[in-house]
Amino acid sequence: MYDFHPYFTSDGSVGLYSPIYNDIYHSATGALTEANEKFIDPIQCRKYLNKYQVKVLDICYGIGYNSKSFLQKMYLLTRPYTASLYTNNIKDKLSVYTNEIHADNILSRISVTAIDNDKNLAFLSPFIKTGEQNIKNEKFDFEYKILEKYLKNDKNIPKPKIEKIINFLLFEKIALNYPEIFENKDIETILGNKEYSRYFDDEIKAVFWHYKYTTGNFNPFEYNQSFLHNIYYNHVSKCYKKRLKRYKLQDIDFNFKTGDAREIIKNDRNTYDLIFLDAFTPSKCPILWSYEFFKLLYEHLEYDGLLLTYSISASVRNAMAAAGFFVGNNFNPAKNKVIGTIATKNKYLIKYPLSKFDLGLLKTTAGIFYHDENLNGQNEAIIERRNLEVQNSNLMTSSQYNKKYKTL
């Protein structure tokens, strides 16, 4: 049976837990909040409104919060009224209005390449309910102490939301490009399980069951847009019918690739404007944080592109810098806190450079990075090799550096 452990995070969005890694996929203080803060807010999304094509590479797509949050943000920028509800900043409101004309049909100019080694998660991603759950009613029955720890200090987190239209469009794309979703037993079991129903959107589920059982064999080549929309018209509430009319099947170019991100990117010839790197923590999953992997990502980033990640680890930042990137902080002024890292080839895109302290830290043992020469090593071996390098190093440790820095 497929391992699926959902729970509601504190902003009302669904998070997952991985027993294999004994780690959470999403911040328990808010999966969607985290996606916005760490991956979307630092991007100047408005600058992409006039771009002919915006290419996004979402590494470790999971249930898709980062891509969805980006699509949502771009979508809202084209809908000034809705967007204005989401911001109190007058400047933001005005620029939203002035961009309206150019922004028309932005979704059709966005192309998302999503990579994850777990195909089921991508299939489930359009069904995940976001921003609609009253978490106070949630009964936390998990044995995962790790979550409880996070959930204590979460009281006043605002509740973000993904517009349902984004999930509908994503579902359409998956249904057309990956018809095997309708034959997938894990998906069928999970979507049919009452235990999980509070995590999924009933309307999108109804469309899934309709395809699966009412329309007989699913064959994407026999489907055309009007047929798809006819199905929606039977199952979808009025409010979404109206919006779906405005958007068409081809609106999002969404490609999902299953497998090890290293292998997939090695064989990919594209370059991207935005790369989201959301792998499990470097100390558990270093294969996606090595110097060699960052060199590979360097080749896949446009000159004005941005690589974003939640990690602020010195070893990750040092590997990025060694691979040729300019590296900066993702600083959240509202929280007065550094919450991630941004890497780019164009140094003028770095808004918050690394501090003197950060740069010094890169030269300590904490800055020793992971190696994976042929991009096919195993996590354990890569960790062991780095541990040995740290042990044999003459560099200062980070705690020695901390002490020394304080006395300066």
Ligand X SMILES: C[S@@+](CC[C@H](N)C(=O)[O-])C[C@H]1O[C@@H](n2cnc3c(N)ncnc32)[C@H](O)[C@@H]1O
Closer by beta carbon to ligand X, 60 or else 321: 60
Report the distance separating Cα 75 and Cα 339, nearest Å. 25
Question: Which residue, 355, 348, 344, 352, is CA-closest to 321?
Answer: 344
Rounded Cα distance between 236 and 238, Å, is 7
Q: Which is nearer to ligand X, 111 or 117 (CB)?
A: 117
Nearest C-alpha neighbor of 274 from the set 341, 353, 339, 344: 344
- Quote the CA–CA distance of 276 and 118 in Å, as a whole number: 17
Pseudo-torsion of CA 42, 134, 63, 298, nearest 10°? 10
Q: 60 vs 113, 122, 141, 143, 256, CA distance in Å? A: 11, 10, 27, 25, 11
**Residue with smaller CB distance to ligand X, 21 or 81:** 21
**At its nearest, how many Å lie between ligand X and the CB of residue 276?**
7
- Least separation in angstroms between residue 260's CB and ligand X is 4
Residues contributing to the site for ligand X (CB under 6 A):
25, 60-66, 115-118, 121, 260-261, 278-280, 285, 287-288
For ligand X, which is the closer residue by CB, 273 or 278?
278
The CB-of-261 to ligand X minimum distance in angstroms stands at 4
Residue 60 vs 252, nearer CB to ligand X: 60
Smallest distance from ligand X to CB 399, Å: 28
Quickly count: other Cβ atoms within 10 Å of residue 9's Cβ. Answer: 28
Residue 353: strand, helix, or coil: strand
**C-alpha distance from residue 379 to each of 21, 382, 397 (Å):** 12, 5, 23
CB contact at 8 A, 201 and 164: yes
Count the alpha carbons within 13 Å of 168 in the hemisphere toward its beta carbon: 27
C-beta closer to ligand X: residue 67 or 364: 67
Which H/E stretch holds residue 346? none
Min dist CB 381 to ligand X, Å, is: 14
Angle at 125 (CA atoms; ends 121, 221), nearest 5 degrees: 95
Q: How near is the Cβ of 5 to ligand X at its closest, in Å?
A: 12
Least Å distance between CB 357 and ligand X? 27
Q: Taking the complex as a whole, how short is the minimal distance between the CB of residue 62 and ligand X, in angstroms?
A: 2
**Which residue(s) pair with 327 in the sheet?**
343
Smallest separation (angstroms) from ligand X to the CB of 367: 23
Query: Residue 267 or 391: which CB sits closer to ligand X?
Result: 267
Q: How many residues does the chain have?
A: 408
Q: Which is nearer to ligand X, 149 or 351 (CB)?
A: 149
Instruction: Output 36 or 99, the one with its CB closest to ligand X.
Output: 36
Give the pairing type, strands 326-332 and 337-344: antiparallel
Q: Residue of minimal CB distance from ligand X? A: 62
The CA-based dihedral angle spanning residues 83, 84, 87, 93, taken in that order and rounded to the nearest 10 degrees: 110
**Cβ of residue 406: shortest distance to ligand X, in angstroms?**
33
Q: Which residues contact 20 (CB under 8 A, 6 or more apart)?
A: 3
